[in-house]
Structure 1
């Protein structure tokens, strides 16, 4: 038995087939680093706009109002008289203030486009239930458990 070394046939364009995956990997790394850079910039802008009275949510889900800012820390009031000091980087997002001009005042009538200011009382007839002490008692509507012969 005799073994012969036969060279493999080239598929042609071997340089491009090796270069294409490398280009895709470099493109993905560039795109991901660009996305992370935008997120870091957005976080830096959020931290830069912190002022006393701003309502924020931390990355751990703590909601509070900024009482004081320092170089590295933010003091949040999370409840009446309860102050917590967190790192500025822990501030996830700022909650926008509700605009009182958008909502009608309590004494004003609502416009046609808005919901009615007060719900009208609707008379709902009871569903055949018996009244006991002014309360409606529903009769149970259970399927029969057995049949009588």
Structure 2
């Protein structure tokens, strides 16, 4: 092989390696992290679904989980719908900031503008 032939093979090889480093490796890492989060969903864990819905795992099956999203409201979703396990806040509160006031504003709408 001459140096011209070697250099013509080197460029495609470099492109494949760069593609692997920038695309394939991070995708595999995210896939492993997601699988770990889905398997870590045990009863009592607070999770976020891929749709953005938050809730607490109440029961776990092989493929499905029961998720409590509000008092008395439980939904059954596929385990792969879990996007991440949410860690509790440092203060020990499991709710989001302003969660109680948001719920009370939904329960009792403002009627001051009604005539």
Q: TM-score range by the shorter chain?
A: 0.5 to 0.7
**Map of 2:29 onto structure 1:** 38
Work out the CA distance in 2 between the residues paired with 1:45 and 1:38.
11
Equivalent residue, structure 1, for 2:59: 68
What secondary structure, in the 3-state scheme, does the structure 2 residue paired with 1:94 have? Answer: strand
Task: Please tell me the root mean square deviation across aligned C-alpha atoms, in Å.
Answer: 2.0
SS of residue in 1 equivalent to 2:8? helix
Q: Distance in 2 between matches of 1:48 and 1:80?
A: 25
The answer to whether 1:95 aligns with 2:78 is no
| Equivalent in 43, 50, 53 of residue 59 of structure 1 | 50
Q: CA deviation at 1:81?
A: 0.9
Alpha-carbon deviation of 1:87? Answer: 1.1
Q: Which protein is richer in helix relative to its size?
A: 2
Unaligned runs of 5+ in 2: 93-115
Structure whose alpha-carbon radius of gyration is higher: 1
Structure 1: stretches of 5+ with no match in the other structure = 1-11, 102-149
Aligned residues: 90
* Alpha-carbon distance in structure 2 between the residues aligned to 1:91 and 1:16: 48
**Superposition TM-score, scaled by structure 2 size:** 0.67
Q: Secondary structure at the match of 1:44?
A: helix
Give the distance between the partners of 1:27 and 1:81, measured in 2 at CA. 52
Q: Whose relative contact order is higher, 1 or 2, with alpha carbons under 8 Å and at least 6 apart?
A: 2
Kindly state the Cα deviation for residue 83 of structure 1 after the two structures are TM-superposed. Answer: 1.0
Deviation of 1:14 after TM superposition, in Å, equals 2.8
The structure 1 segments of at least 4 consecutive aligned residues displaced by more than 6 Å after TM superposition are none
Q: State whether structure 2 residue 7 is matched by structure 1 residue 23.
A: no
Distance 1:41 1:80 in 2: 32
